[in-house]
C-alpha cells in the first residue's frame, strides 16, 4: 500500500495498547502510505514504525500543543496532504489527544476516516466479567484526594437518581488503593475488576469487592497500567445512619453527608445548605450529625482500621484473579 496515493483526509488510526501484533493490516498499510503522521510522541511512534519497517514524516501532536497544532494539521490536508492521527496506544481522542483536530476537520469540511483498533476501555470491559449493557467511561479522575471524592460523590448522586451502571476509570498503580478506598466511601463495597497490563506478557485481571481489593493491594501493590471497572449495581450505596434512629430524622442529612464526603469543612457545609434554602438550625444539625457519623468510623464512610488483619468472611466475596 506504500505506493498508493491516498485522498487528502484525516485518518484516525488505532495503534496497539501493548502487543504489536494487534495492529490491523489495514492500519499498517495506511501508515506506510500516508504522507504525514501526527503523533502524541514522535519517539514512541518512531519505534513502532521502525519495527514495522515504515519510514514516514512525523509531527508532534500532544496535549501540550493540541490546540495550536490542530490548525497546522488542517493546513497540511487543505494543501493536499494525507495525515494519519495516532496516539501512543489505543484510539486517539479516547483519554488521548485528537479531539481538537477532528472537530476542526469537520468544521472545515475535511473528510475524517477511522481505522478502528485496540482500546483499553473495551478490552477491560470484555475481560472484567461485570455487566456491559450500560456503562460509563470516566477516564482519569483528579489526582488530588478532595477533587477525586467530589467526582465520585457526583457519580454516587447520579446513581441514586438514575440507577446503577458500570463505570470505567484509568488509573496509575500508585493511586489505585486510594481510589478503591474512595469508591467504598462513596459508592459502597461494590464489585471491581482491576485489569492490568492489557495485551502484554503480564496481563492480569483481579476481581473482588472494592474493600477486599484495597486490603489485598495494601500488602501487595500492583505495578503497570490499570483499568478499573466498577459495577455500581453490586452493593447498596453508603447510608449516613448508625444505631441512633432518632438522630437521623433530619431531611437534609444526606445532602450534608455528601458535602462532608466532598471534603467541605463544617462552616462551609452549613453555608452551602443555607444557600439551598435549608433553615439555619436544620443545616447546623445535619452537618453536625454527618460529622459525628464520619468520626465514629461508619463502615460505609470511615477508614478500614484492620489493614493488617484478615477481612471478615462477610466482607470477602472472593478475590478472583487470572
Distance CA 257, CA 269 (A): 9
pLDDT at 316 over 50: no
Statement to judge: residues 137 and 196 lie in one domain: yes
Statement to judge: residues 270 and 253 lie in one domain: yes
Q: Could you tell me if residue 89 is inside a domain? A: yes
Q: Could you tell me if residue 145 is inside a domain? A: yes
pLDDT at 98 over 60: yes
Q: Which pLDDT score, from 0 to 100, does residue 144 have? A: 86
Statement to judge: residues 44 and 29 lie in one domain: yes
Q: Could you tell me if residue 2 is inside a domain? A: no
Give the residue with greater pLDDT, 256 vs 305. 256
Q: Could you tell me if residue 101 is inside a domain? A: yes
Q: Which of 65, 94, 118 is the last residue of a domain?
A: 118
Statement to judge: residues 133 and 232 lie in one domain: yes
* Strand 225-231 relative to strand 191-196, pairing: antiparallel
Statement to judge: residues 176 and 187 lie in one domain: yes
- Provide the CATH number for the domain around residue 129: 3.30.950.10
Radius of gyration for the alpha carbons in the chain, expressed in angstroms and rounded: 24
Q: Could you tell me if residue 317 is inside a domain? A: no
pLDDT at 299 over 80: no
Distance CA 190, CA 210 (A): 6
Distance CA 155, CA 132 (A): 17
Distance CA 20, CA 89 (A): 10
Region 35-59: what's the mean pLDDT? 96
Q: Are 117 and 44 in contact (CB under 8 A)?
A: no
Statement to judge: residues 126 and 111 lie in one domain: no
Question: DSSP readout, 276-311?
Answer: TT--HHHHHHHHHHHHHHHHTT-TTTS--S-TTSPP
Question: What pLDDT digit, counting tens, does each position of 101-160 carry?
Answer: 999 999 999 999 999 999 999 999 999 999 999 999 999 999 888 888 889 988 988 887
Q: Which of 72, 93, 118 is the last residue of a domain?
A: 118
Statement to judge: residues 14 and 88 lie in one domain: yes
Statement to judge: residues 199 and 168 lie in one domain: yes
Least confident interval from 75-84, 125-134, 171-180, 281-290: 281-290
* Burial class (CB within 10 angstroms; exposed 0-12, middle 13-18, buried 19+) of 299: middle
Q: Which of 120-134, 152-166, 178-192, 288-302 has the highest mean pLDDT?
A: 120-134
Q: Which pLDDT score, from 0 to 100, does residue 249 have? A: 54
Q: Which of 118, 148, 182 is the last residue of a domain?
A: 118
Q: Could you tell me if residue 322 is inside a domain? A: no
Give the residue with greater pLDDT, 84 vs 146. 84
Distance CA 182, CA 203 (A): 25
Statement to judge: residues 45 and 90 lie in one domain: yes
Residue 247's domain spans which residues? 239-311
- CA dihedral of 292, 294, 295, 300, whole degrees rounded to 10: 130
Least confident interval from 88-97, 105-114, 202-211, 261-270: 261-270
Q: Which pLDDT score, from 0 to 100, does residue 136 have? A: 94
Q: Could you tell me if residue 5 is inside a domain? A: no
Q: What percent of the chain has pLDDT over 90?
A: 53
Distance CA 145, CA 155 (A): 15
Statement to judge: residues 57 and 105 lie in one domain: yes
> What is the pLDDT confidence band of residue 81, given thresholds at 50, 70 and 90?
very high
Q: Which pLDDT score, from 0 to 100, does residue 218 have? A: 80
Statement to judge: residues 137 and 229 lie in one domain: yes
Distance CA 148, CA 86 (A): 29
Statement to judge: residues 137 and 156 lie in one domain: yes
Q: Could you tell me if residue 127 is inside a domain? A: yes
Q: How many domains does the chain contain in total?
A: 3
pLDDT at 71 over 90: yes
Q: Which pLDDT score, from 0 to 100, does residue 303 have? A: 36
The shares of helix, strand and coil residues in the chain, as percent rounded to the nearest 5, are: 45, 15, 40
Indicate yes or no: pTM above 0.75.
Answer: no
Position of cell 443555607? Answer: 274
- List strand residue ranges (DSSP E) for 14-164, in order: 36-39, 57-60, 83-86, 112-115, 135-140
Question: What pLDDT digit, counting tens, does each position of 243-253 carry?
Answer: 444 345 566 77
C-alpha cell at 276: 439551598
- Provide the CATH number for the domain around residue 60: 3.40.1010.10
Amino acid at each position: 500500500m506504500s505506493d498508493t496515493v491516498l485522498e487528502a483526509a484525516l485518518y484516525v488510526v488505532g495503534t496497539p495498547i501493548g502487543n504489536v501484533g494487534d495492529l490491523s493490516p489495514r492500519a499498517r498499510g495506511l501508515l506506510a502510505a500516508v504522507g504525514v503522521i501526527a503523533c502524541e510522541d514522535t519517539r514512541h511512534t518512531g519505534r513502532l514504525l521502525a519495527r514495522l519497517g515504515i519510514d514516514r514524516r512525523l509531527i508532534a501532536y500532544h496535549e501540550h500543543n493540541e490546540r495550536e497544532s490542530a490548525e497546522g494539521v488542517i493546513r497540511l490536508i487543505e494543501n493536499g496532504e494525507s495525515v494519519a492521527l495516532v496516539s501512543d496506544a489505543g484510539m486517539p481522542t479516547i483519554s488521548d489527544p485528537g479531539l481538537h483536530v477532528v472537530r476542526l476537520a469537520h468544521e472545515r469540511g475535511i473528510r475524517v476516516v477511522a481505522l478502528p483498533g485496540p482500546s483499553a476501555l473495551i478490552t477491560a470491559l470484555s475481560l472484567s466479567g461485570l455487566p456491559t449493557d450500560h456503562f460509563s467511561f470516566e477516564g482519569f479522575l483528579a489526582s488530588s484526594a478532595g477533587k477525586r471524592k467530589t467526582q465520585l460523590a457526583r457519580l454516587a448522586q447520579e446513581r441514586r437518581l438514575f440507577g446503577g451502571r458500570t463505570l470505567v476509570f484509568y488509573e496509575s498503580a500508585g493511586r489505585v488503593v486510594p481510589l478503591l478506598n474512595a469508591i467504598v466511601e462513596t459508592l459502597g463495597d461494590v464489585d471491581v475488576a482491576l485489569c492490568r497490563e492489557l495485551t502484554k506478557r503480564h496481563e492480569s485481571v483481579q476481581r473482588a469487592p472494592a474493600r477486599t481489593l484495597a486490603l489485598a493491594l495494601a500488602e501487595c501493590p500492583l505495578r503497570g497500567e490499570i483499568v478499573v471497572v466498577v459495577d455500581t449495581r453490586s452493593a447498596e450505596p453508603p447510608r449516613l445512619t448508625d444505631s441512633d434512629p432518632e438522630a437521623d430524622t433530619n431531611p437534609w442529612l444526606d445532602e450534608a453527608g455528601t458535602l462532608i464526603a466532598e471534603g467541605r469543612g463544617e462552616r462551609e457545609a452549613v453555608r452551602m445548605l443555607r444557600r439551598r434554602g435549608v433553615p439555619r438550625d436544620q443545616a447546623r444539625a445535619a452537618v453536625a450529625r454527618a460529622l459525628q457519623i464520619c468520626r465514629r468510623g461508619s463502615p460505609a464512610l470511615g477508614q478500614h482500621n484492620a489493614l493488617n488483619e484478615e477481612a471478615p468472611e462477610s466482607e470477602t466475596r472472593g478475590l478472583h484473579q487470572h
